[in-house]
Chain A
Amino acid sequence: MAKRIDVKDVDIYYGKFQAVRGVNLTIEPRSVTAFIGPSGCGKSTVLRTLNRMHEVVPGARVSGDVLLDGEDIYGSSVDPVNVRRTIGMVFQRPNPFPTMSIYDNVVAGLKLQGTRMRKHELDDAVERSLVSANLWHEVRSRLKKPGSGLSGGQQQRLCIARAIAVQPQVLLMDEPCSALDPISTLAIEDLIQQLKATYTIVIVTHNMQQAARVSDRTAFFNLAGVSQPGELVEMDDTEKIFSNPSDKRTEDYISGRFG
């Protein structure tokens, strides 16, 4: 079910402004890849091009290829909505639909897809997704209560349940823990470890220790220079990046010598 992503010679622009240049990388199925780098280096921008989410910004465009198991997600016959269904996303701030119940939040994606499902099928999908998101035991007795009544950490897990309810192949996470307390953060990190058995996961994080804890591969992005676009400096096994990176800029960044 999990799929591989190949990014080839990708340049990303917002209007005339080039945000990112020349990114080449491969993300293996059933692995966790962390994107790290200073603010403004383009890591979130690259993440968003992986499911065409950047297109919601007017003037945004991409050149190069993003292949999902060899298929170009920017192909002319490809529906971006379908891409986003296959490649789900979890955002920085937990954003459950505020007026919806926990149950309705989880099935929101399924209903939007227009798939006709029987009540028991929906019930199964809700339970399966909430179990996968490590939230089932905390909310099973109050599925009809509003999602906004949950704690921040629970809300984020609800968003993860909502994202995986539509059975995506890839899960993108844009700083999923930066609005959470340390305990909720560790709960999400444990969850990421469990989810990688099923999904390909890409996580953008400002917390380098989090990247070191949860990811198999780490990609370091940085600005190519003053007023220059962001670029991929180095991507390697996380163990290597944090013990003996090949590029001095990576070493300086992870050691806190700049950024």
Chain B
Amino acid sequence: MRDIYHDELDDIGNRVLMMINLVAVAMQRATEALLDANLALADQVIADDDRVDALRAELEDRTFQVIAQQAPVATDLRVLIATNQVSSDLERMGDLAHHVAKTARLRYPDVAVPPEIRDVIRQMGEVAASLVTKVADVVEGRDVALAQAIEEEDDSMDALLRKLFTVVLSPNWARGTEAAIDTTLLGRYYERYADHAVAVARRTVFIVTGRRA
């Protein structure tokens, strides 16, 4: 029954997973480019963000068409509504990885991150990578329990941001205003990236339960 419709819904789901994978790789590479001042890798992240943007546009068009033509209801409708919101979060996550890569490129050949911040940023990159991997599992398996676990992991990202602020605001900060702004913004990019990942997980809870998480 309605095979073409259900194939289309499945395919839309696969495109969302593809987007999650792209933004996961983007942040991972952006972090590496940032910590190692790797210009080629930063450029690749910046170029690849177009693919994320294109997928978001494609998903918007396809969900619109299915809603217009197939009158989806219940879970199918929640999937489509959530897909639109999720793809917007993922596009933003792609943008944040892109910002990190641009910071790396802007300061090249220097390393944009001062040594005393390096470890915090590295940890933020690790938390971001761990979160987005779990988000992929949440979305693929529609795993409500894991979605709730992600919220806690996001708390550790917030703690890292506070730690970063403590360093920058300390009287011992000797790197000047520009580095302070760079560092503050970088911390903010990771923290926002994690928040959008949590939002994606929450949308998955909505798909499963019909209630906002």
Contact = CB atoms under 8 A, between A and B. Distances in A.
Interface of A: 208-209, 212, 242-245, 251, 254-259
A257 B74 contact: no
B1 A243 contact: no
B74 A243 contact: yes
Contact of B73 (A255, A258, A259): A255
Given A243-B210, A244-B210, A256 B1 contact: yes
Between A212, A242, A244, the greatest number of chain B beta carbons within 10 A of the residue's beta carbon is seen for A244
A257 B74 CA distance: 12
B71 A209 contact: yes
Given A245-B74, A254-B73, 15 more contacts: A209-B71, A212-B73, A242-B74, A243-B210, A244-B74, A244-B78, A244-B210, A255-B2, A255-B72, A255-B73, A255-B75, A257-B1, A257-B2, A258-B1, A259-B1
A208 B71 CA distance: 10
Contacts of B74: 242-245, 251, 254-255
A219 to B, nearest CB: 16
A100 B210 CA distance: 53
19 contacts: A208-B73, A242-B73, A242-B74, A243-B73, A243-B77, A244-B74, A244-B75, A244-B78, A245-B74, A251-B74, A254-B73, A255-B2, A255-B72, A255-B75, A255-B76, A256-B1, A257-B1, A257-B2, A258-B1
B162 interface: no
Interface string B23-48: 00000000000000000000000000
